[in-house]
Structure 1
Amino acid sequence: MKSYWAKPDEIEKKWYVLDAKGKVLGRMATEIAMTLMGKKKPIYTPSIDTGDFVIVINADKFVVTGSKMDDKMYYRHSGHLGGLKERTLKEQLEKKPEDVIRLAVKNMLPKTRMGRAMISKLKIYTGSEHPHAAQNPEVFEI
């Protein structure tokens, strides 16, 4: 039996919309990463981007388990001596709640050129509205 190898011009990319309200951050991020990579499709090919687009709405209304709100830290460095900045998850949610989901998904994708292309297919919005109604996104349930 011959193996199937997907070709870039044969791939049909769908759009999905996911409501993050009440969803656990880590479980939601793994499902989003699998969809962006295309691993849920039968035509998955590792060297070709077969993934779909994902729109996340209500990005500031997800939940985390345990005491992660106070214990989980986000770090960034300016490149200068003493330039390490840190924020807790609670502080990061107040400033940029979209970045929490984006970073969780990005760390689950390949660290290659194709991984950077996959993360660009993720659209995150804090409200319940999004500007991608023309793509007719399907509801994505976890």
Structure 2
Amino acid sequence: MKTYSPRAKDIKREWWVIDAADRVLGRMAARAAHILMGKHKPMYAPHMDTGDYVVIVNAAKVRVTGRKAEQKIYYRHSGYPGGLKSPTFKELFSQNPVRVVELAVKGMLPHNSLGRAMFKKLKVYPGNEHRHQAQTSCCRPGAELFTPCHSDLGRREGEEGRGPEDKRNESEMLQKAR
């Protein structure tokens, strides 16, 4: 049996909308990066861009846990002597919440030309309005599909699976039958 390698013409790209309101920044960014890389697809190949487009709305309502708002620091340097800029999360978030979400997702993508191509498929907006209504009219809701263990990732809608809840129901039925 040969290893399957997807062709460029076989890749079908979908549009996903993730509502970032009251979501933890890192977890939401990890789900977005997962979709951008195409790891949710059976045809995933690490050497190809098989991912989908992701639109993140309500970026200004994202939250962080603990004391990250005061303690997390974003570093950048202009290249000139004394050109180090190091704003905290709170400072950068108040100026540009979109940039905070973009940096979180970008850090979870591959750090090469493939990752840069994947990053171009990410669209982030501070509010609920976005310019991709035509593409996302038949979109899939992004954040609701994924669970922490990705247990329902391979199932189709309406398909019964053998997840933990099914095993629990099965054991309850067996106990009732006795």
TM-score range with shorter-chain normalisation?
Answer: over 0.9
The structure in which a higher percent of residues are helix is: 2
Q: How far apart are residue 79 of structure 1 and its match?
A: 1.1
SS of alignment partner, residue 13 of structure 2? coil
Q: How far apart are residue 46 of structure 1 and its match?
A: 1.1
Paired-residue identity, %: 51
Question: Structure 2: where are the runs of 5+ without partners?
Answer: 145-178
Q: How far apart are residue 140 of structure 1 and its match?
A: 1.2
TM-score norm. by structure 1 comes to 0.96
Q: How far apart are residue 56 of structure 1 and its match?
A: 0.3
Higher relative contact order (CA 8 A, sep 6+): 1
Match of 2:134 in 1: 134
The structure in which a higher percent of residues are strand is: 1
Question: Structure 1: where are the runs of 5+ without partners?
Answer: none
* Moved beyond 3 Å, runs of 4+: none
Find the aligned partners of 2:82 and 2:54 in 1 and give their Cα distance: 38
Aligned partners of 2:32 and 2:54 also within 8 Å: yes
Q: How far apart are residue 2 of structure 1 and its match?
A: 2.9
Find the aligned partners of 2:49 and 2:77 in 1 and give their Cα distance: 31
Q: Which has the larger radius of gyration?
A: 2
Task: Give the letter for the 1:124 counterpart.
Answer: V
Q: How far apart are residue 72 of structure 1 and its match?
A: 0.3
C-alpha RMSD of the superposition: 0.9
Is 1:51–2:51 an aligned residue pair? Answer: yes
Count of matched residue pairs: 142
- In the TM superposition, what are the counterparts of 1:59-138 in structure 2 within 5 Å? 59-135=59-135, 136=137, 137-138=139-140
Q: How far apart are residue 36 of structure 1 and its match?
A: 0.3
- In the TM superposition, what are the counterparts of 1:5-24 in structure 2 within 5 Å? 5-24=5-24
